[in-house]
Structure 1
C-alpha cells in the first residue's frame, strides 16, 4: 500500500511537471503537442504489444474515442498556449477551472441534476481567476486561453464516462491519444498558417524536454497511476490529482522563481482555488464515509480518467 501511494504521488508530480516543460520547450503550443503525441503514441502501442494487450474495440466506439481524443489534443494546445502567453503558475491556476465547467456540462451530458455545491465550489475557482485577471491585467490573454483550455478539459472526462463502460481505460487512453495525434495532424497546416513558427523542428534541448514530457510525464505517469490502482481505489487516485496544479506551481516557483513576478492578486486567487480544492476533497471523503457506513456492500472503484 505504501509503495502504491508513492507511485501515485510520483505520477501526480510528473503531471504537474508538464506545465514547467511547456515553458522550457521553445516550440509554439501546437507543435509542442504534436511532437509530444508523435513520441507518446508509438511508445504506448509498443507497450501494448509487449504486454499482449487486447486492443480490439468496436467501430462505433473507435470513432467516438478518436473524437474525444481530438478534444483532448485541443485542450493540451490551449493549455500550453496559456502558459506561453502568461506563465506556468497562471496557466495551472486556470486549469483548476475544469471543476466549474464540469459541474455545468456533466449534468447536461449525463442527464442528471446540477450539483449546487460543486457549482458553488467551481464558482469559487472562477472568482479566484477573476481576481488575478483584475489585479494582473497583463496576463489577460493567457487567462482567457486558459479558461478555453479548462472548458475543453472538462469535456473529455465527461464524454469518457460512457465509453469506459464498454472499453478498458488502457484502450481508451491508447486510442484517444492516437485520435488526438491524427486530428492535430490534420489541423496543423491551418494552425501554422494562423500561428507561424520560426522553426518546425525542435532544437537539441527541445528534443530532450520532449522526451521527458512524452515518456516520463505521459507514458510513465500513466503506468504509475494504473499500478497504484491495483492497491488503492480510483476515488483516492482522482482526489490526489487535485494536487497537480499545486505541485506544478511550486515547481515553477523553485525553478523559475515566478513568485518574484506575481503580485498579491495571484496569491489571493491561489488561496481561493486551493480552498475550493480542499473543500471538495473533504466533501467527497465525507460522502464516501457516509456511503460506507450505510451499507456493508463493497463498491468497485470507478474507472480512472
Structure 2
C-alpha cells in the first residue's frame, strides 16, 4: 500500500514537472498561440498513437455517450491551451502559470456537480491558501498594460482545465489514459485546422525542434501521466497536489529565460507548496 501510494504520487509529480515545461517552451516558440497548439496536438497525437500501438492499447469507444464526452473533453483541453498560450504571450511565464493555478479552487467548488462528493471544508481552506499564494506571486500591474489581460485569460484557461479534468475523471475509469489523450489531441487538431488559412506558419521549420519537445515531453508524456493519476486521486486532490507546477515553472523559467522571481514570489510559492504537502499527507491517509 505504501509503495503504491508513493509510486502514484511520484507519477503525478513527474507529470506535473513535465507539464511545467510548457511555460518556457511557449515563450521560446515564435509562432501565434493557435498555430503552436495545432502543431503541438498533431505531433503529440502521432507520438501517442505509436505508443498505443506498441502497447496494443485499444482505440475502441464503447458508446455514443462516451464519444460525446471525448469530444467535449477535447474541446475543453483545446480551449485551455489556446487561452493559456495567449496568457503567456501577453504576460510572462510566472504570471501565466500562476493565474491558471486558480484551477484547484475552481475544481473544489464544481466537483460536487460531477459526483456525489460534498465540498470538504479543509479543501476550501487549502484552496484559499493557494489563492493567497497566487496573489503574492502576481507582480504589480495596471489596467493599462497587458498583464491584466494575461491574468484574465489565465483564469479562463483554469476554468476550462478544471472542467476537462472532471470529465476525464469519469472516462479514465473505463478507458486507458493514453487512448484518451490520443483522441483529445485528434479533436484539438481537427478543431484548429481552419487556422491554417489565417494564422502564420511561415517559420514552422525553424521552430520544429521546440514544437517536437512540447509535443513529446509536455503533452504526450506529461499530460498522459497526469490523466493516469486520476485513477488514484480525486480531481480535487490531483489539482491541489499539482499546484507545485508554478514552482517548477518559475525555476525552469529562471534557468532558461532568466526570469528572476521577486521576494513575493518566494512567499506565494511557499504557501502553494504548503498546500501540496498537506494534501499529499491527507490523501495518503
Matches within 5 A, 1:16-35: 16-35=20-39
1:37 is aligned to 2:41: yes
CA RMSD of aligned residues (A): 3.2
Q: Distance in 2 between matches of 1:49 and 1:159?
A: 25
Residue 79 of structure 1 deviates from its aligned partner by 1.4
Residue 115 of structure 1 deviates from its aligned partner by 1.7
Gaps in structure 1 of 5+ consecutive residues: 289-305
Offset from partner CA, 1:129-170 (integer Å, 9 cap, x none): 334557344532211111111111111111122222332323
Q: Distance in 2 between matches of 1:99 and 1:6?
A: 17
Matches within 5 A, 1:181-260: 181-185=189-193, 188=195, 197=199, 199-221=200-222, 234-235=232-233, 238=238, 241-259=242-260
Q: Distance in 2 between matches of 1:90 and 1:251?
A: 14
Structure with larger Rg: 1
Matches within 5 A, 1:53-202: 53-57=57-61, 58-133=63-138, 135-137=140-142, 138=145, 139-185=147-193, 188=195, 197=199, 199-202=200-203
Offset from partner CA, 1:111-134 (integer Å, 9 cap, x none): 432222212211222233334557
Contact 1:91 1:143 in 2 (8 A): yes
Residue 97 of structure 1 deviates from its aligned partner by 1.5
Contact 2:66 2:171 in 1 (8 A): yes
Contact 2:244 2:273 in 1 (8 A): no
Contact 1:74 1:152 in 2 (8 A): yes
- Given the two structures, how large is their TM-score scaled by the length of structure 2? 0.81
Residue 54 of structure 1 deviates from its aligned partner by 1.5
Residue 213 of structure 1 deviates from its aligned partner by 0.8
Name 1:283's counterpart in structure 2: 282
Q: Assess, with a 3 A threshold, how the Cα gap between structure 1 residues 281 and 6 changes in structure 2: closer, same or farther.
A: closer
Q: Assess, with a 3 A threshold, how the Cα gap between structure 1 residues 130 and 241 changes in structure 2: closer, same or farther.
A: closer
> For this pair of structures, how many residues does the alignment match?
273
Q: Assess, with a 3 A threshold, how the Cα gap between structure 1 residues 78 and 16 changes in structure 2: closer, same or farther.
A: same
Offset from partner CA, 1:180-239 (integer Å, 9 cap, x none): 2223335x479x5xxxx5x3233433111001111232224467779x98xxx9459958
Q: Assess, with a 3 A threshold, how the Cα gap between structure 1 residues 224 and 130 changes in structure 2: closer, same or farther.
A: closer
Q: Assess, with a 3 A threshold, how the Cα gap between structure 1 residues 264 and 108 changes in structure 2: closer, same or farther.
A: same
Contact 1:39 1:211 in 2 (8 A): yes
Matches within 5 A, 1:259-298: 259=260, 262-285=261-284, 288=285
Q: Distance in 2 between matches of 1:39 and 1:7?
A: 26
- Given the two structures, how large is their TM-score scaled by the length of structure 1? 0.77
Q: Distance in 2 between matches of 1:212 and 1:132?
A: 27
Name 1:13's counterpart in structure 2: 17
Gaps in structure 2 of 5+ consecutive residues: none
Contact 1:11 1:222 in 2 (8 A): yes
- Larger mean CA deviation between 235-244 and 79-88 belongs to 235-244
- Larger mean CA deviation between 90-99 and 271-280 belongs to 271-280
Residue 258 of structure 1 deviates from its aligned partner by 0.9
Contact 1:11 1:225 in 2 (8 A): yes
Residue 114 of structure 2: SS of its match in structure 1? helix
